[in-house]
Amino acid sequence: MKRFVFGLILLGMPALIFAQAQSTEAVTKRLYSPPTQAPALFSLQLAPGVDIPLGASSQVFGVGGGVRFEAEYRLPSLPLVYVSGGLGYDYDAANFIPQSVSVASASLGSGLRFDLLPWLSATAGISGGYFFSFLNDFSKSGGNPFVSAEAGVILLPSPWHVNVGVAYLYYFGLYSGLSASIGLSYDFAPSRATKVATLVSQIAKAQDPRKPTNELGVLYAQYGQYDKAQKQFEKLLAKEQYVPAREE
C-alpha cells in the first residue's frame, strides 16, 4: 500500500511542477506587462474647411473656404480638459458683385476631449478671439472680436490622427455661419516626468491605488530605475494587494 501511494505521488509531481511553473509565468507576465499608455498632452492640428453662411450672412456671402492651425494642451491632472490656441484664415466671396473678403483671426479656447477607444475620441469646446478682415481690393478693412463653438471626432491611434469637425462662427459685425473641416493632427508623446507625475497624481486621488501603483512600478522598471520600481511593488506585496497593470 505504501509503495502504491508513493508511486501516485511520483506520478503527480510533474503535473504539480508544471502547474506551478505556468502560474509563476502568468504572474510574471502580468507583473511586467506595460502600463496603460498616458495620453499625449500636446498636439498640433492643421484643418482646411468649407464655410457656409447662415441667416443674414447668406444674403451677402456665398460658400467660402478657410484653414486653421491650432495647438492643444491637455491638463496633466485632468486630461479630459484641454486648452487651445490657434490662427485662422477664411476667404468668402460676396454675392452679386465681383468682390471677396479675407478674414485673419487669432483665438484662445477650452473644451473637453473624451477618449472613447484607442483610435476614437470626441471633442467639444468653445473659443474666442479677434479677427481682422479686408476686401481683397484693399479698399476697406476692419476688425472685431469673434466667438465659436466646436465639436468633432478624432480618428486613428496616436500619434497621427484624422480630425473631422464642425464649428459655428460668429464674427461680430461681419459674418455668421458654419465651418466643416477635415484635417490632420499630431500628438507629441508625454515626457518621462509627465508620465510619472500623472501616475503619482492618480495614486494620490484614487480610492483604490493598487493599479496605478503597479503601473508606476512597471514604468520605473522600463526606465531602468529598479530601486524605485521595487519600492512600488513592495507596497503591493506587503499587503498582498497586487493587480495587473493592464487587463488582458
Domain coordinates of the chain in residue numbers? 42-188, 191-248
For residues 61-67, give the mean pLDDT: 95
* 218-225 contact pairs (CB < 8 A, 24+): 218/31, 218/32, 218/33, 218/34, 218/35, 218/245, 219/35, 219/195, 220/196, 221/32, 222/34, 223/192
Say what the pLDDT of residue 17 is. 40
Average pLDDT, the chain: 82
CATH code: domain 42-188 is 2.40.160.20
Question: Above 90 in pLDDT, residue 123?
Answer: yes
Question: Above 60 in pLDDT, residue 33?
Answer: no
Supply angle C-alpha 26, 39, 230, rounded to 5: 45
Say what the pLDDT of residue 168 is. 98
Say what the pLDDT of residue 8 is. 41
Question: Above 70 in pLDDT, residue 10?
Answer: no
What is the rounded distance in angstroms from the CA atom of residue 132 to the CA atom of residue 245? 51
**ω before 212 within 30° of 0 (cis)?**
no
Question: Above 80 in pLDDT, residue 37?
Answer: no
For residues 230-238, give the mean pLDDT: 80
